[in-house]
Amino acid sequence: MVHARVADATQTDARGDSSPRVGLVVSRAVGNAVTRTRVKRRLRAQVAPFVPQLPAGTDLVIRANPAAAEATSAEISEALRHCLRDLVVGEGP
């Protein structure tokens, strides 16, 4: 599940820059500590190419569901691409 908030001119933020931020949520439902760490590493690696394409000031939260523990990197990448297609600059439908 992906939640995104794109800042507009009416919103203010205490941080000095407007670079996109990404947060990961991987709960115990995904698996033990080793499994959760592996899922976080995979998510970070797969979302990294999308970050430069996100609009300035975007806050993105990715919540892994239990199926992420068994998903391949390619499946995670495709799921992220599907979730971010409307948000990523330069990506079409």
The residue extents of the domains of the chain are 20-84
The answer to whether the beta carbons of residues 80 and 50 sit under 8 Å apart is yes
Greatest Cα pair distance, the chain, in angstroms, is: 42
**Fold classification of 20-84 (topology level):** Ribosomal Protein S5; domain 2 (3.30.230)
Name the pLDDT band for 17 (thresholds 50, 70, 90).
Answer: low
pTM of the model: 0.76
Nearest to 55 by CA among 1, 2, 5: 5
Q: For 35-89, what is each residue's pLDDT tens digit?
A: 999 999 999 999 999 888 888 888 889 999 999 999 999 999 999 888 888 777 5
pLDDT (mean) for 12-37: 85
> What is the C-alpha separation between 18 and 11, in angstroms, rounded?
11
The answer to whether the beta carbons of residues 30 and 36 sit under 8 Å apart is yes
> What is the C-alpha separation between 38 and 46, in angstroms, rounded?
12
